[in-house]
């Protein structure tokens, strides 16, 4: 059996209630202010679940990073590249100290396939981000 499989199944079925010391010791990763979690254009497929703090989702325009969204506790990041196996579409930067659980694509595949609540969580997260992006686009003239 894969190392950490019991903890993965706890996360799959209990979500926030699974955040024990053992789970955090195994998958927890801290980021500090302005530290980069994900870089636009990269192909690595780590997925992060934010357990406290906030991150900026940004895109590089010219020499500057433009903020597309701010995501916080309970949000998943990096799931888009997991789903469509494409490159990272944004750079994600810590806004202050951020606690996450960091999953490999194999860990996340186990979580996602074991429990429908993660499928629903992903759908709601993506839908909210689409709504936000449509709002954001409507403020920029084409």
Which residues lie near other proteins (CB under 8 A)? 59, 61-62, 66, 68, 79-80, 83-84, 86, 89-90, 113, 116, 119-120, 122-124, 126-131, 133-142
- Identify which of residues 23 and 56 has a Cβ nearer to other proteins in the complex: 56
Instruction: Give me the half-sphere count of Cα atoms (radius 13 Å) on the Cβ side of residue 119.
Output: 5
State in angstroms the smallest separation of the CB of 22 from other proteins.
Answer: 28
State in angstroms the smallest separation of the CB of 85 from other proteins.
Answer: 10
Gap between the Cα atoms of 66 and 69, Å rounded: 9
Q: For strand 28-31 and strand 76-77, is the pairing parallel, antiparallel, or unpaired?
A: unpaired
Gap between the Cα atoms of 8 and 111, Å rounded: 6
State in angstroms the smallest separation of the CB of 110 from other proteins.
Answer: 13
State in angstroms the smallest separation of the CB of 67 from other proteins.
Answer: 11
Which DSSP helix (H) or strand (E) runs through 113? helix 105-114
- Identify which of residues 22 and 120 has a Cβ nearer to other proteins in the complex: 120
- Identify which of residues 22 and 83 has a Cβ nearer to other proteins in the complex: 83
* DSSP 3-state of 38: strand
State in angstroms the smallest separation of the CB of 45 from other proteins.
Answer: 13
Check: CB of residue 91 under 8 Å from CB of residue 68. Answer: no
Nearest to 38 by CA among 77, 84, 86: 77
- Identify which of residues 29 and 39 has a Cβ nearer to other proteins in the complex: 39
- Identify which of residues 24 and 114 has a Cβ nearer to other proteins in the complex: 114
């Amino acid at each position: 059996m894969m190392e950490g499989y019991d903890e993965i199944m706890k996360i799959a079925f209990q979500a926030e209630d699974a955040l024990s010391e053992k789970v955090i010791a195994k998958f927890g990763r801290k980021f500090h202010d302005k530290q980069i979690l994900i870089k636009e254009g990269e192909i690595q497929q780590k997925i992060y679940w934010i357990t406290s703090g906030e991150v900026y989702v940004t895109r590089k325009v010219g020499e500057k990073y433009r903020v597309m969204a701010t995501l916080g506790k309970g949000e998943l990041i990096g799931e888009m590249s997991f789903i469509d196996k494409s490159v990272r579409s944004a750079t994600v930067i810590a806004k202050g100290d951020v606690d996450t659980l960091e999953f490999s694509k194999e860990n996340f595949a186990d979580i996602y396939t074991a429990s429908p609540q993660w499928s629903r969580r992903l759908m709601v997260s993506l839908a909210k981000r689409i709504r936000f992006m449509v709002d954001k686009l409507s403020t920029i003239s084409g």
